[in-house]
C-alpha cells in the first residue's frame, strides 16, 4: 500500500458505533465524501450515492457519508440517522459519526477537504472526490447529482488512471 497522505491521516468513528475507520486504509481508492442530512430537499441523493457505490466499489471506489447538523436538517440521535439511511435508502456504504463540516469547529478531515478543494460546505450534500493517491480533491456543490455526467466522468477517469 502507498504511504498515507496527510489528507487521509485521520481516524473517525463510524455512525452509531464504537468502531473507528482509519482513512489511511482507503489509500488507493477513489473516495467520494458527502456531508449528508436526513431531512433535506437533497436527501433523495442517497439513492444515487448508493447506486454509484454499488456500480464502482469493485473497481476501487467508496462513498463516505458524513451526517451533519450544521444546516439543522439532521436527526439529533445517531441511531435514528443510521436506521433512516438503511431502511429508507438501503445505504450500505460507510457512514461516519455526525460531525460539524464547516467553520472553526469542523471535523479536521473536513477542514482539510475544504482547504484542498477551495470549497467549504454551504449546504447538505456537498461532495468531495479524493483521488486514488489521496492528494487531489475536487469539490461539487449540492445541486451536482451523484449520477451527473460531470461527477461520474471524474470518478471513472480517476479509477482508470
Please give the tally of structural domains in the chain. Answer: 1
Residue 5 inside a domain? The answer is: no
Strand 30-36 to 61-67 pairing:
parallel
**Its pTM surpasses 0.75:** yes
Residue 136 lies in a domain: yes
Strand, helix or coil at 46? helix
Query: What cell was used for 89?
Result: 435508502
Rounded Cα–Cα distance for residues 142 and 140 (Å): 7
Q: What is the residue range of 124's domain?
A: 11-159
**Does 24 participate in catalysis according to the annotation?**
no
Residue 144 lies in a domain: yes
The residues, ordered by sequence, that sit 6+ positions from 9 with a Cβ below 8 Å of its Cβ are 23, 24
54-94 residue pLDDT tens: 999 999 999 999 999 999 999 999 999 999 999 999 999 99
* Domain-located, residue 6: no
Task: List the catalytic residue out of 4, 24, 40, 85.
Answer: 40
Residue 3: the pLDDT is 85
Q: What share of the chain is helix, strand, coil (3-state, %, to 5)?
A: 30, 20, 50
Dist CA 27 CA 134 (whole Å): 6
Instruction: Kindly tell me if the per-residue pLDDT of 1 is higher than 70.
Output: no
d(CA 113, CA 124): 15
Please spell the DSSP secondary structure of 88-136, one letter per residue. Answer: HH---S-BBPP---SSTTS-HHHHHHHHHHT----STT-EEEEPTTS--
CB 23 within 8 A of CB 128: no
pLDDT (mean) for 114-119: 97
CATH of residue 89? 3.40.30.10
Amino acid at each position: 500500500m502507498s504511504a498515507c497522505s496527510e489528507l487521509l491521516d485521520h481516524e473517525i468513528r463510524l455512525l452509531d458505533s464504537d468502531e473507528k475507520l482509519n482513512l489511511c486504509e482507503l489509500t488507493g481508492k477513489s473516495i467520494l465524501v458527502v456531508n449528508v442530512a436526513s431531512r433535506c430537499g437533497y436527501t433523495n441523493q442517497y439513492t444515487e450515492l448508493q447506486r454509484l457505490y454499488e456500480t464502482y466499489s469493485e473497481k476501487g471506489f467508496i462513498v463516505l457519508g458524513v451526517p451533519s447538523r450544521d444546516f439543522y436538517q439532521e436527526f439529533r440521535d445517531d441511531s435514528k440517522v443510521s436506521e433512516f439511511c438503511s431502511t429508507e435508502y438501503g445505504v450500505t456504504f460507510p457512514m461516519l459519526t455526525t460531525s460539524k463540516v464547516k467553520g472553526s469547529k469542523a471535523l479536521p478531515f473536513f477542514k482539510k477537504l475544504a482547504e484542498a478543494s477551495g470549497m467549504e460546505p454551504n449546504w447538505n450534500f456537498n461532495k468531495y472526490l479524493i483521488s486514488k493517491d489521496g492528494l487531489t480533491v475536487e469539490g461539487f456543490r449540492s445541486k451536482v447529482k451523484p449520477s451527473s455526467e460531470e461527477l461520474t466522468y471524474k470518478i471513472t477517469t480517476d479509477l482508470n488512471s
